[in-house]
Amino acid sequence: MSEANRGARGVVPPQRPGMSEANRDGVGFIGLGQMGEPMARHLTGRGLVVFDARADAVAPLVEAGARAARSVAEVAAHCALVSIMVRDDDQVREVAEEAIAAARPGTVLAIHSTIRAKTAEDLAEKARRYDIEVVDAPVSGGFMGASAGSLAVMVGGTPEAFERCREPFGDWADLVLHMGPVGAGTRTKLARNLLHFVSFTAAAEAQRLAEASGVSLRKLGRIVRHTDAITGGAGAIMLRPTTAPLEPDDDLYDILRHTRDLGEKDLSLALELAGELGVDAPFARLALERFGAGLGLAEDTDG
């Protein structure tokens, strides 16, 4: 779509039958894949308008009460809030630019895909020319959270845009947080997913150690899932507003010093076992080397 067409703010795509003026304050959802479909399903009571390139993805939402649009532009022209959940930066740009061309002033476009922060910032700058808000609002919690309506959503955008999104997002999310300006939501998601996927590699290392020791990997997995649900896993130590070294009078100092002592002991024992069994454990070695400093404790902190 050309820049000339993007500037034609009065042009609205032809309405399909049943898409009345009354629907213009509804919620739109574009991209009905594994995450988008269950997220959108929670919005059917809000005058939901949906679009996906695959007709078979649209049909179940229509059966649940949504209205089907013929294009991205038609969704954007009829909805005050439009959610976008497509695959990557290129698809986000394509969809968002078509939506910007058709949306009315005051519309909020919410990008839920995990993309580059710069992509969201560029689209927000372009949309601002037409009095359209863009928020980057990636989610965490997987298909299970999307189905249950218990996702976490990290929103980057103006405070005003966030307030307009907060309630609809709450239909499919248990935790809705404003992280800062456009781009902040995506930066939060990338930091969160760094932890998520690095931990998968650490889990593979732990499984190699367990397997070499003759331990059941399935039972180990049950133990990990059970105890992480109790302790909160790695998130349990993410309590500080800074990564700077802790001062001895900090309320968390003794707690994290105890955590450091236990962690260094157990990592040392695991590395000893790995050495006996000939299992390479580079993540464990790196963790032991950096464990105390990562908690904010200097190497010579003995109390």
Determine the pLDDT at residue 4: 34
- For the chain, what is the mean pLDDT? 91
Q: Which residue has the higher pLDDT, 299 or 175?
A: 175
pLDDT at 300: 53
3-136 matches 189-294 in fold: no
Active site residue 189: yes
**Hey, which bits of 41-98 come out as E strands?**
49-51, 67-68, 79-84
Share of the chain above pLDDT 90, in %: 89
pLDDT at 11 over 70: no
- The whole-number pLDDT of residue 24 equals 57
Of 118, 126, 189, 219, catalytic: 189
- What is the rounded average pLDDT of the residues 259-281? 96
What kind and span of H or E run contains 180? strand 173-180
CATH of domain 3-136: 3.40.50.720
Sorting pLDDT into bands at 50, 70 and 90, what band is 20? Answer: very low
Cβ proximity of 41 and 92 under 8 Å: no
Q: What is the token pair recorded at 159? A: 């405070």
Q: What secondary structure letter does DSSP report for 159? A: H
Give the chain's radius of gyration (CA, Å). Answer: 24
Mean per-residue pLDDT, 89-93: 98
Q: Is the pLDDT of residue 33 over 70?
A: yes
Contact residues for 10 (Cβ-Cβ < 8 A; gap 6+):
none
Joined together, the tokens standing for residue 158 give 């103006």
Q: What is the mean pLDDT of residues 125-134?
A: 98
Task: Give the per-residue pLDDT at 25.
Answer: 74
Determine the pLDDT at residue 298.
75
Q: Minimum mean pLDDT among 78-87, 198-207, 272-281, 291-300: which range?
A: 291-300
Cβ-based neighbour number of residue 239 at 10 Å: 10
Largest CA distance in the chain: 74
Give the torsion sign (CA, 191, 193, 196, 202): negative
Q: Is the pLDDT of residue 52 over 90?
A: yes
Higher confidence at residue 238 or residue 302?
238
Cβ proximity of 121 and 21 under 8 Å: no
pLDDT of residue 14: 38
Q: What is the mean pLDDT of residues 253-279?
A: 96
Cβ neighbours of residue 7 closer than 8 Å, sequence gap 6 or more:
none
Show me where the domains of the chain are located: 3-136, 189-294
Do 25 and 47 meet the contact criterion of CB atoms below 8 Å apart? Answer: yes
The superfamily in CATH containing domain 189-294 is N-(1-d-carboxylethyl)-l-norvaline Dehydrogenase; domain 2 (1.10.1040.10)
